[in-house]
Structure 1
């Protein structure tokens, strides 16, 4: 495969992911000018740079060097989800993979007594949506308290101090959405 073919694959994935050259460049640590030259075959990239681009696009390195169809969809298989287990009795399974577009989704499990932490926190300027699939949770939004049961949902600004806790006797399962995704702190 030639350098131009690699650049074309990068462009196809970038367009399918609805990313600008600038946005992809920021995620991969390269300039938009470099991406423009790569995509048009005027320059080549090192393996290190290609790995960063592949990571930012949410694909494997082989996807950039092997010609083939580029899907606009990113499938996350249930048994291959990345998970984050917090010390506060909460586990997040990523339902979306980076690069996130306009939405970031998690499947959340909270053990009895589990929570997002001991105090309220805020981050970014996004909307958050919680849908309780099983169990119940207490959602603290500044001075407001909302108890949600199975099937209930709530929407709030991520800039509002918030905390979510499972005060029940059983495990709680939630779908948690941030739109747009908030940057890591």
Structure 2
């Protein structure tokens, strides 16, 4: 890589790290590198092997290709409903990624839950971010907290709940009609 390319790569790594609210030390721990190496890489004073770039990308919730993509700075990106990537979920539920990769400051999902379905039998947690669940249509019950001590909240259209992603949570549609929800997470949780 040329010196300007190395500098631009370092600047993108620093920008993604800052978007994730990670410290240099935090990224170094996650990528199994030294903080001084990460600092030198971000300032364009060092280059990294493909293996190291993979570890850094994984720690940031990105792909190696995302680290080299300079086109994400265009300012706007359109995603048609029919082109939304679908994530594998529990039977009777569908979850679609709305925020386009590489994820920057915000991670957004649209969800559909058929009557009698849920995000799973057990509450789950992921990362240490802020999450908002907004109900667009139908009614859902949200459990926040570990199994056995979770407090259920019934939400209808226009209702929302905000919580840390580190708190175990679960969403169920116990009604007779389909439910549609949006999850918004900031900063994006690691992959």
TM over 0.5: yes
- Gaps in structure 2 of 5+ consecutive residues: none
- Gaps in structure 1 of 5+ consecutive residues: none
Cα distance in 1 between the residues matched to 2:111 and 2:183 = 7
Q: 1:90 offset after TM fit, Å? A: 2.3
Q: 1:92 offset after TM fit, Å? A: 2.4
Instruction: Name the TM-score, length of structure 1 as normaliser.
Output: 0.68
Alignment of 1:1-185 (within 5 A): 1-2=1-2, 4-17=3-16, 18=18, 20-53=23-56, 56=60, 58=62, 61=65, 64=68, 71=73, 75=77, 77-78=79-80, 81-96=84-99, 97=101, 101=105, 103-121=106-124, 127-141=130-144, 142=149, 144-158=151-165, 162-179=169-186
Contact 2:11/2:44 (8 A) holds in 1: no
Contact 2:10/2:44 (8 A) holds in 1: no
Contact 1:16/1:70 (8 A) holds in 2: no
Q: 1:165 offset after TM fit, Å? A: 0.8
Contact 2:61/2:189 (8 A) holds in 1: no
Q: 1:152 offset after TM fit, Å? A: 1.5
